[in-house]
């Protein structure tokens, strides 16, 4: 029995900041100080506050150390673990008040969160099945195999109101019901979408890194419900930590008899295999994903028939994403009513968001459905840095839309987001401040979908390129008011005629920015001006002679030799030579250079 546990974040974010070396340093220092029989170091999953990594939490106190460096380790071990005195200067500042250390749950970031899908992330060692079992792991699987019929399992998921967390929000229980016919007579498959291609999204990756057994257990439950005996987890190869931990978990589950033949001596057989994706965004679409698993180029298929009828290898198949599965064991153990008690009337439970962009607290948050955008941004996220104003939030990635500041009090759920021109998506939430050009944002997401289009259907392959050309025309200062009408007409055509969800949703960022920020488009077109000062073709740099001290620092910095002037005399910019890189503004100490 250990008296203290040193939990070191082993998620991708903290690992990239050197948390592996910090864990090794703790192990070495603890061994040096003779504490290795009293203190245990555990590499765990993501704690959520990614902006503060590398993170170390020491239990039983729950002391939350942030931005830990290797040179801090000896002090933490000597002061905290040997003498019982937490090193307050290294603790997350919000956990220290009047010299006292308070609970992490009392901080603004965690206070309004409700961790269901993320319940074990940062709590257990994801590579130790016994720790998962200690937190009720595989109890839900045991319950369904020994106490429930397949139809009762499906009814429980239906009653919970769980909807797919991968984007569309389709009722999970209904999907399972569609695939449940002819159990034992037809080969069936259960698939997990862990492709997660949205820019800025890392929810599924974090669950696989911090709690892979929850997904394995849920897929086995789904297989029992529909009558399948084989499952596949489709995960992108760019997630090496997630892939490794998932494979370790699968191997352990087989060893413990929780995968394979005759699970819990019930006669139920189910096994899992990992399939690696090459990073194609289109493979997040269910039929393209299945085509890729089959060994073919990832391209979508026409629907109907839907995968529940004819999916992987032409057999009935259900596909849910990682976060959807992570909720299943808790619903089985705690009941449908427990899950349905959270959230809104039509959107039950919680939702995980990857909070990023111009926000203080970058990271993972899990909140009940119906939490307002204001609560997420201002309270949990800590607001916009540097005193800037909130301008918009992008939800749903390239398939979603931009929500303006005027709608910051919108409760976040599936239907509310669709009503305002956005969508839940997998859970990426990118925050933008006043320095963001909304035309440029629309162009950024459209460039992504143009690159990621599989090219199978003409509306997506050609239409998105024509749409991007119109946006480029506007940001280059060559747009006309007629182009706005062309954009809307073309966007509607692409949405109506594309084969799969990638093309059908590709115009969303453009249409939502046109809906809420049309004045910025007009400013670009009529006045040849980018209000945010982002679009280079519309920028002009000028020097205020009353502020310029003639220090020549800007002239020496300019890579194009566009600035001239003698020492101690006001300088000037040759607009024909200026490459608008902004280097001169960064170097000017007197605020004499501006762009507009």
The pLDDT tens digits for 357-372 are 999 999 999 999 999 9
- Note every long-range contact of 240-246, with CB atoms under 8 Å and residues 24 or more positions apart, other chains counting: 241/10, 241/11, 241/12, 241/15, 241/209, 242/12, 242/194, 242/205, 242/208, 242/209, 242/212, 243/208, 243/274, 243/276, 245/126, 245/127, 245/208, 245/209, 245/212, 246/208, 246/212, 246/215, 246/216, 246/274
How many residues does the structure list for the chain? 596
Provide φ and ψ at 135, rounded to 5°. -105, 45
* Angle at 504 (CA atoms; ends 179, 234), nearest 5 degrees: 50
- Least reliable range by pLDDT among 448-452, 499-503, 505-509, 577-581: 577-581
Q: Give me the pLDDT at residue 71, please.
A: 96
Do the Cβ atoms of 195 and 452 come closer than 8 Å?
A: no
| Gap between the Cα atoms of 593 and 563, Å rounded | 11
Query: What Cα–Cα distance (Å) separates residue 333 from each residue in 118, 140, 337, 347, 486?
Result: 16, 6, 11, 20, 53
The percentage of residues in the chain with a pLDDT greater than 90, rounded to a whole number, is 81
Question: What average pLDDT score do residues 380-397 get?
Answer: 94
Helix (H, G, I), strand (E, B) or coil at 577: coil
To the nearest 10°, report the CA torsion of 559, 564, 566, 569.
Answer: -110
The chain-wide mean pLDDT, for the chain, equals 94
Burial class (CB in 10 A: 0-12, 13-18, 19+), 147: exposed
pLDDT of residue 434: 94
Is residue 194 over pLDDT 80?
A: yes
The neighbouring-strand residues paired with 572 are 564
pLDDT band at 213 (very low <50, low <70, confident <90, very high): very high
| Paired sense of beta strands 56-59 and 4-9, if any | antiparallel
Q: Which residue has the higher pLDDT, 583 or 316?
A: 316
* 41, 27 contact by CB (below 8 A): yes
143, pLDDT greater than 90: yes
* Cα–Cα distance, 136 to 277 (Å, whole number): 31
pLDDT score of 463 more than 90: yes
Q: Under 8 Å CB-to-CB from 217, ≥6 apart: which residues?
A: 137, 138, 140, 141, 258, 328, 329
Higher pLDDT, 274 or 196: 274
Q: Are 484 and 537 in contact (CB under 8 A)?
A: no
Specify burial of residue 15 (Cβ count, 10 A radius: 0-12, 13-18, 19+).
Answer: buried
pTM: 0.92
Q: What is the pLDDT of residues 42-88, one digit of tens each?
A: 999 999 999 999 999 999 999 999 999 999 999 999 999 999 999 99
Give the pLDDT of residue 570.
86
- Asked if residue 201 has pLDDT above 90, the reply is no
In terms of Cβ atoms closer than 10 Å to its own Cβ (0-12, 13-18, 19+), residue 529 is middle
Give one DSSP letter per residue of 230-277, joined into a string. EEEEEEETT-HHHHHHHHHHHHHHHHTTSSEEEETTTTEEEEEEEEEE
Whether the per-residue pLDDT at 426 is higher than 90: the answer is: no
The SS3 of residue 49 is coil
State residue 220 phi and psi, 5-degree precision. Answer: -65, -40
What is the rounded CA–CA span in Å between residue 187 and residue 315? 6
DSSP 521-540: HHHHHHS---TTS--GGG--
Read off the pLDDT of each residue in 429-438 and give the average, rounded to a whole number.
Answer: 95
CA dist 5 and 12 (Å) reads: 21
Q: Note the pLDDT of residue 578.
A: 84
Q: Which residues does 24 contact at the CB level (< 8 Å), separation at least 6?
A: none
DSSP per-residue letters across 551-566? --HHHHH-TT--EE--
Confidence of residue 233 (pLDDT cuts 50, 70, 90): very high
Of 33-37, 233-237, 507-511, 573-577, the poorest mean pLDDT is in 573-577
């Amino acid at each position: 029995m250990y008296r203290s546990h040193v939990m070191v974040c082993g998620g991708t974010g903290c690992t990239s900041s050197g948390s592996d070396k910090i864990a090794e340093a703790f192990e070495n220092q603890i061994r040096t100080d003779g504490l290795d029989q009293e203190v245990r170091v555990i590499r765990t999953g993501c704690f959520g506050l990614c902006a503060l990594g590398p993170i170390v939490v020491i239990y039983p106190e729950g002391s939350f150390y942030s931005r830990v460096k290797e040179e801090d380790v000896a002090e933490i071990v000597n002061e905290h673990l040997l003498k019982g005195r937490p090193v307050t200067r290294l603790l997350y500042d919000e956990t220290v008040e009047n010299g006292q250390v308070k609970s992490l749950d009392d901080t603004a970031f965690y206070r309004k969160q409700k961790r269901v899908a993320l319940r074990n992330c940062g709590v257990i060692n994801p590579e130790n099945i016994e720790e998962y079992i200690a937190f009720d792991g595989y109890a839900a699987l045991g319950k369904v195999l020994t106490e429930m019929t397949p139809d009762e399992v499906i009814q429980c998921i239906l009653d919970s109101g769980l909807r797919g967390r991968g984007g569309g929000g389709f009722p999970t229980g209904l999907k399972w019901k569609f695939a449940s016919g002819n159990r034992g007579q037809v080969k069936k498959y259960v698939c997990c979408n862990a492709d997660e291609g949205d820019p800025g999204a890392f929810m599924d990756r974090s669950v696989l890194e911090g709690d892979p057994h929850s997904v394995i257990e849920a897929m086995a439950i789904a297989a029992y419900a529909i009558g399948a005996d084989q499952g596949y987890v489709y995960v992108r190869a760019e997630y090496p930590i997630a892939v490794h931990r998932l494979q370790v978990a699968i191997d352990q589950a087989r060893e413990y008899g929780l995968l394979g033949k005759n699970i819990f001596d019930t006669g139920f057989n189910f096994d899992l295999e990992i399939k690696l994706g090459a990073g194609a965004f289109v493979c997040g679409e269910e039929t393209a994903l299945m085509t890729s698993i089959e060994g073919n180029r990832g391209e979508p298929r026409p629907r109907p028939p839907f995968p529940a009828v004819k999916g992987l290898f032409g057999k009935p198949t259900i596909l849910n994403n990682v976060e959807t599965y992570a909720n299943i064991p808790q619903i089985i153990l705690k009941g449908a009513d427990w899950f349905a008690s959270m959230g809104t009337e039509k959107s039950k439970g919680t939702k995980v968001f990857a909070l990023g962009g111009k926000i203080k607290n970058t990271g993972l948050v899990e909140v009940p459905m119906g939490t307002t955008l204001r609560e997420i941004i201002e309270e949990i996220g800590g607001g916009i840095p540097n005193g800037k104003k909130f301008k918009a939030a992008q939800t749903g990635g390239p398939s979603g839309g931009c929500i303006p500041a005027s709608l910051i009090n919108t409760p976040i759920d599936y239907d509310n987001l669709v009503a305002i021109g956005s969508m839940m998506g997998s859970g990426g939430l990118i925050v933008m401040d006043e320095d963001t050009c909304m035309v440029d944002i629309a162009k950024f997401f459209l460039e992504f979908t143009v690159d990621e289009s599989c090219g199978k259907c003409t509306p997506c392959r050609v239409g998105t390129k024509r749409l991007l050309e119109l946006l480029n025309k506007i940001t280059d200062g060559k747009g006309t008011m007629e182009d706005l009408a062309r954009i809307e007409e073309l966007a509607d055509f692409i949405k109506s005629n594309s084969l799969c969800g990638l093309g059908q949703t590709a115009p969303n960022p453009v249409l939502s920015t046109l809906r809420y920020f049309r004045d910025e488009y007009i400013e670009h077109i009529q006045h040849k001006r980018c209000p945010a000062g982002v679009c280079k073709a519309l920028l002009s740099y000028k020097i205020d002679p009353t502020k310029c001290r003639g220090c020549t620092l800007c002239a020496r910095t300019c890579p194009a030799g566009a600035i001239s002037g003698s020492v101690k005399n006001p300088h000037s910019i040759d607009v024909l030579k200026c490459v608008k890189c902004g280097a001169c503004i960064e170097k000017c100490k007197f605020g004499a250079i501006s762009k507009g």
